[in-house]
Chain A
């Protein structure tokens, strides 16, 4: 798995857009970028994955520049329920049974 760097914590007010950037300078050609979300006292949950450019689903958007050395998770109009830890993981999706290894993630606190 490629090493990733993301902010330890972020605060945001309700209704704002939140962007969490992850750096992954050593990303390999076959690597995908995946984000997981962990609510307090729950297990992590997959939210989005991408390889390049932009991916959007009902939860978030993921922006990946052409050099793929970083990525930005964008959460539109956050609410209190988006308070969670967000993990950026980078690795080869088809390398076999490589278990997920989580870093410290970014703790997002949404304030009313």
Chain B
């Protein structure tokens, strides 16, 4: 079964540092997403990406966040200057077609970001 791959699985960074979280979506999927989950809380939508541009973003996705698809296979989330409250599990997801069908989402196993 095709998978969404995320690296690293765990990253520790100092407050104020930049981090890049990496994802390899399923190859024939067209839509890409980042979500985050603070420990003990719900999964929160950050941003969706289609045709090399952001299609939707939440209020969480402020100027310190950016996304990129640098080479046609990777999908990255950059946090420019990390804060303690950015500590969370970050999930990448991709979906198959242009309808954004609810059943078509495949999530990765996540990157646990710890900001110290």
Q: Which stretch of B14-22, B41-49, B69-77, B80-88 is in the interface?
A: B41-49
Please give, as numbers and ranges, the residues of chain B lying within 8 Å of A41 by CB-CB distance.
Answer: 89, 109-110, 112
Kindly state the separation between the CA atoms of A93 and B109 in the bound complex, as whole angstroms. 24
B32 to chain A, nearest CB (A): 10
Q: Which of A9-17, A18-26, A71-79, A101-109 contacts B (4 or more CB under 8 A)?
A: A101-109
**Which of chain B's residues has its CB closest to A45's CB?**
B107
Instruction: Pick from A44, A91, A99 the residue with the most CB of B within 10 Å.
Output: A99
Residue B79 CB within 8 A of the other chain:
no
Number of A-B residue pairs with CB-CB distance less than 8 Å in the complex they form: 72
Interface size, chain B (Cβ < 8 Å)? 29
A38 within 8 A of B: yes
Instruction: Report whether B98 and A96 are in contact in the complex, using a CB–CB cutoff of 8 Å.
Output: yes
Q: In the complex the two chains form, is B91's CB within 8 Å of A97's CB?
A: no
- Assess the B110–A99 pair: CB atoms within 8 A: no
**Which of B35, B93, B102, B110 is close to A91, meaning CB atoms less than 8 Å apart?**
B102
**With A97-B55, A99-B33, A99-B48 as contacts: A43 and B99 at CB distance below 8 Å:** no
Which B residues have a C-beta under 8 Å from some C-beta of A?
4, 31, 33, 35, 42-45, 48, 50, 55-56, 89, 91, 93, 98-110, 112
**23 CB < 8 A contacts A-B:** A34-B102, A38-B43, A41-B89, A41-B109, A43-B91, A43-B108, A44-B43, A44-B105, A49-B102, A91-B102, A93-B99, A95-B100, A96-B100, A97-B31, A97-B50, A97-B56, A97-B100, A98-B100, A99-B33, A99-B45, A99-B56, A101-B45, A104-B42
| Interface residues in chain A, defined as those with a beta carbon under 8 Å from any beta carbon in chain B | 32, 34, 38, 41-46, 49, 87, 89, 91, 93-105
Known: A95-B99, A98-B100. 11 other contacts (CB 8 A): A38-B43, A41-B109, A41-B110, A43-B35, A43-B108, A49-B102, A87-B43, A89-B102, A102-B42, A102-B43, A102-B45
